[in-house]
């Protein structure tokens, strides 16, 4: 690999890479990260075989990219330069794509994205509403470049931000530029990144560390995963800039072990950066020495908390410690440490390549830039979306997400994972930024956005999060350990039909107590899911407690399945599959469920194609 010793080397390499690229070539971009869950590896293999068999190697380039964002439609194949977007591609479809699109310049209509409202096929990626309304900046490279090839990143302008920061600025100027950009941490709390850097660079000591937090523990959020898998170099570049600013020589990236592809791609990226001389000694001839090591998490949610994460890197069981001293003063092994989310480092790279003014012009007064959200749950279009801060919830859920599935009604959106809260329909026109979300009882968190419809039970959701946190609480401080236990106990009682008068008040009191007295952020925000659902969906709690009814059909003891006689055609599928023999009825005649025998396993409900099995 070519050595990059100065910024001139970097520019020369970029120039030669751009020259080498053949603009007449047809480019097939296939997701090789998120879509692997949908067997995109087989699609890639089929394309490679097809191209080889047809002798098109000189005309066609197959690029294995990161995530395109529209994960629900995977595996996704985009063909350039025409920007044709094929979704749900199977290996057997590759022959048609090659013969129709690549050889004849036509389109395979059945593989295009079909607008569920207008029933029209849309040909180009850029015209699909899901993409059209986004503002891709941090995730721009995901789905475009080959994350396992540093040259592809450099050709697209990569590492120029690093060159600019290292050769034309002093460390203090770098810190001040981050402060001026107004960037707030993307991990959850939204603490200004520049202030953290300033604190750390001013802290006494020769040894300092920089850590990228890729322990994306929030269930329902996967944008960090996508960034680590799809554009690992942007994170590394941001970290090197940070190391220069604060004077760190060693860096760590802490990645969840549930993300094997992220670990693989980051390892490749680090190795390639080392081989080129962009990591290691005397980076770009500026005298900066910096190395990065990857640490795998071992499945503990609390390790996403900064002090716990550092203790985990030190090789102990990750329990948080009290702050102050803040990690910027006393962090990893007692040395000043900057810890930022991986997405924050992606933002840093953008700030230095495009300027602090450009960055601070995007977003709202107090929340700058763009944010990637994982839009999942009951929306039509699920996946990763990147929007400007301040975009309304309505625009995200109905504009980009296409509204609620199966014609159901929107109920609430949960943001911020287990530390966040639920936002009801009445606040759908709220702008999404750090402060508005906090005011509404939720938090930005890492960017999970889980949309719920009328079939989601808010009490069950609150119980789910509390149970999650109960298992993940490290047990060090009493308010969190015992408070969660009590909350879980009360919520379980409510969900199982043993709710009592006064439960709601007890939950509220417990929640407030935990918020003010817990040791770390986990306990401090743990009651948010409960408090926010009580705030907006008190009637649902009351229906569970007083009427013993779960209208959403989630809490087992509080509803029953029945078969709508008018809809049932007597296909006997449910009767055959029922493990308890609770369904009776003759062929082609409406069936019946015996509520005494029914264990509410949901098999009949999930299998009935006519939706004749219902909840009451």
Partner 1 sequence: MTGCQWTRVHRIFTKRRLTMDLKKVDSILKKHEYRHSEIIGIMQDVQDIENYLPEEILRYISEKLELSLTRIFDIATFYKAFSLVPRGRHIIKVCCGTACHLAGAMQNLEQIKRTLHVREGETTEDRTFSLETVNCLGTCALAPVVQVDEDYHDAVIPGKIDKILAIYSSKDER
What residues line the site for partner 1 (CB under 8 A)? Answer: 34, 37-38, 71-72, 74, 216-222, 225, 257-259, 295-301, 312-318, 374, 376-378, 382-383, 414, 417, 448, 450, 452, 456, 461, 464-465, 468, 472, 474, 577, 579, 601-603, 606-607
Taking alpha carbons only, the member of 64, 384, 370, 340 closest to residue 222 is: 384
Q: How far is the CB of 494 from partner 1 (least distance, A)?
A: 16
Q: How far is the CB of 334 from partner 1 (least distance, A)?
A: 13
Query: Quick one: residue 487, left, alpha or beta (phi over 0 = left, psi -120 to 50 = alpha)?
Result: alpha
Q: How far is the CB of 371 from partner 1 (least distance, A)?
A: 17
Q: How far is the CB of 602 from partner 1 (least distance, A)?
A: 4
Q: How far is the CB of 495 from partner 1 (least distance, A)?
A: 11
Query: Quick one: residue 590, left, alpha or beta (phi over 0 = left, psi -120 to 50 = alpha)?
Result: beta
d(CA 64, CA 280): 28
Residues 6+ apart with CB under 8 A from 570: 585, 586, 587, 588, 589, 590, 591
CB 303 within 8 A of CB 318: yes
Taking alpha carbons only, the member of 506, 527, 505, 507 closest to residue 517 is: 527
Q: How far is the CB of 601 from partner 1 (least distance, A)?
A: 6
Q: How far is the CB of 612 from partner 1 (least distance, A)?
A: 15
Closer by beta carbon to partner 1, 184 or else 600: 600
Closer by beta carbon to partner 1, 204 or else 315: 315
Q: What is the DSSP letter of 74?
A: P
CB 480 within 8 A of CB 473: yes
Q: How far is the CB of 256 from partner 1 (least distance, A)?
A: 8
Which residue in the block uniquely carries the two structure tokens 């933002």? 347
Q: How far is the CB of 6 from partner 1 (least distance, A)?
A: 33
Closer by beta carbon to partner 1, 176 or else 454: 454
Closer by beta carbon to partner 1, 38 or else 64: 38
Closer by beta carbon to partner 1, 7 or else 312: 312
Could you tell me the sign of the dihedral formed by the alpha carbons of 594, 599, 600, 604, in that order? negative
CB 253 within 8 A of CB 264: no
Q: How far is the CB of 104 from partner 1 (least distance, A)?
A: 32
Closer by beta carbon to partner 1, 163 or else 416: 416
Closer by beta carbon to partner 1, 191 or else 464: 464
CA 524 to chain centre: 22
Q: How far is the CB of 353 from partner 1 (least distance, A)?
A: 27
Closer by beta carbon to partner 1, 7 or else 456: 456
Angle between helices 503-517 and 528-542 (to 10 degrees): 170
CB 331 within 8 A of CB 310: yes
Closer by beta carbon to partner 1, 184 or else 488: 488
**CB count, 10 Å around CB of 616?**
9
Q: How far is the CB of 175 from partner 1 (least distance, A)?
A: 29
Q: How far is the CB of 487 from partner 1 (least distance, A)?
A: 17
**CB count, 10 Å around CB of 315?**
7
Tokens describing residue 262: 């992220």
Closer by beta carbon to partner 1, 372 or else 376: 376
Angle between helices 193-202 and 232-246 (to 10 degrees): 40
Q: What is the DSSP letter of 89?
A: -
d(CA 591, CA 162): 68
Closer by beta carbon to partner 1, 359 or else 468: 468
Which residue in the block uniquely carries the two structure tokens 């007295």? 517
d(CA 479, CA 509): 12
Closer by beta carbon to partner 1, 77 or else 356: 77
| Residues β-bridged to residue 324 | none
Closer by beta carbon to partner 1, 10 or else 71: 71
d(CA 82, CA 35): 22
Tokens describing residue 522: 């986990």
Q: How far is the CB of 509 from partner 1 (least distance, A)?
A: 26
Q: What is the DSSP letter of 98?
A: I
Per-residue burial over 397-429, b = 16 or more CB atoms within 10 Å of its CB, e = otherwise? bbbbbbbbbeeeebbbbbbbbbbbbbbbeebbe
Closer by beta carbon to partner 1, 195 or else 603: 603
Residues 6+ apart with CB under 8 A from 229: 33, 34, 66, 67, 142, 147, 259, 261, 262, 265
């Amino acid at each position: 690999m070519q050595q990059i010793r100065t910024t001139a080397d970097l520019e020369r390499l970029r120039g030669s890479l751009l020259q080498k690229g053949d603009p007449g070539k047809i480019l097939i971009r296939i997701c090789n990260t998120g879509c692997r869950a949908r067997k995109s590896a087989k699609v890639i293999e089929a394309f490679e075989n097809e191209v080889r068999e047809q002798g098109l190697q000189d005309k066609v380039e197959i690029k294995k990219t990161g995530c395109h964002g529209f994960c629900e439609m995977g595996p996704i194949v985009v063909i350039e330069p025409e920007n044709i977007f094929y979704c749900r591609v199977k290996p057997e479809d590759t022959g048609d794509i090659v013969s129709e699109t690549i050889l004849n310049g036509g389109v395979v209509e059945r593989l295009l994205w079909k607008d569920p409202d207008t029933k029209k096929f849309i040909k180009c990626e850029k015209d699909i509403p899901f993409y059209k309304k986004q503002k891709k900046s941090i995730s721009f490279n995901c789905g475009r470049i080959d994350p396992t090839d540093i040259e592809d990143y450099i050709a697209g302008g990569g590492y120029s931000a690093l060159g600019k920061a290292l050769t034309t600025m002093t460390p203090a100027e770098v810190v001040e530029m981050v402060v001026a950009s107004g960037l707030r941490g993307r991990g959850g709390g939204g603490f200004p990144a520049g202030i953290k850097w300033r604190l750390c660079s001013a802290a006494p000591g020769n040894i300092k560390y920089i850590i990228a937090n890729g322990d994306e523990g929030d269930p329902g959020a996967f944008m960090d995963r996508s960034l680590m898998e799809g554009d690992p170099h942007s994170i590394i570049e941001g970290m090197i800039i940070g190391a220069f600013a604060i004077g760190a020589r060693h860096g760590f990236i802490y990645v969840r072990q549930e993300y094997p592809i992220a670990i693989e791609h980051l390892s490749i990226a680090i190795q390639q950066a080392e081989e080129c001389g962009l990591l290691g000694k005397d980076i770009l001839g500026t005298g900066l020495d910096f190395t990065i090591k990857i640490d795998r998490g071992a499945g503990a949610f609390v390790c996403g908390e900064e002090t716990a994460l550092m203790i985990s890197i030190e090789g102990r069981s990750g329990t948080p410690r009290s702050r102050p001293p803040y990690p910027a003063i006393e962090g990893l092994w007692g040395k000043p440490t900057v810890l930022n989310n991986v997405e924050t480092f992606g933002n840093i790279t953008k700030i230095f390549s495009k300027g602090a003014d450009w960055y601070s012009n995007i977003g709202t007064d107090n929340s700058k830039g763009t944010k990637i959200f994982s839009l999942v749950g009951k929306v039509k279009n699920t996946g990763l979306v990147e929007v400007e801060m301040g975009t309304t919830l309505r625009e995200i859920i109905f504009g980009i997400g296409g509204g609620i599935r199966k014609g159901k009604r929107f109920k609430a959106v949960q943001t911020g994972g287990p530390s966040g809260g639920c936002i009801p329909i009445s606040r759908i026109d709220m702008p999404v930024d750090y402060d508005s979300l906090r005011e509404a009882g939720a938090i930005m968190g890492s960017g999970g956005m889980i949309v719920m419809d009328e079939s989601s039970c808010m009490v069950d959701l609150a119980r789910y999060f509390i149970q999650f946190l109960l298992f993940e609480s490290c047990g060090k401080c009493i308010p969190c350990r015992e408070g969660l236990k009590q909350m879980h106990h009360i919520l379980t009682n409510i969900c199982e039909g043993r709710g009592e008068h006064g439960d709601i008040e007890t939950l509220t009191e417990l929640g407030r107590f935990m918020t003010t007295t817990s040791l770390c952020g986990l306990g401090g925000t743990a009651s948010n899911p409960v408090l926010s659902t009580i705030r907006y969906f008190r009637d649902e709690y009351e229906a569970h407690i007083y009427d013993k009814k779960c209208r959403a059909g989630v809490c087992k003891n509080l509803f029953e399945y029945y078969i709508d006689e008018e809809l049932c055609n007597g296909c006997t599928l449910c009767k055959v599959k029922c493990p308890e023999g609770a369904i009776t009825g003759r062929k082609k005649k409406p069936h019946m469920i015996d509520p005494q025998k029914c264990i509410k396993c949901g098999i009949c409900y999930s299998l009935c194609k006519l939706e004749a099995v219902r909840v009451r």
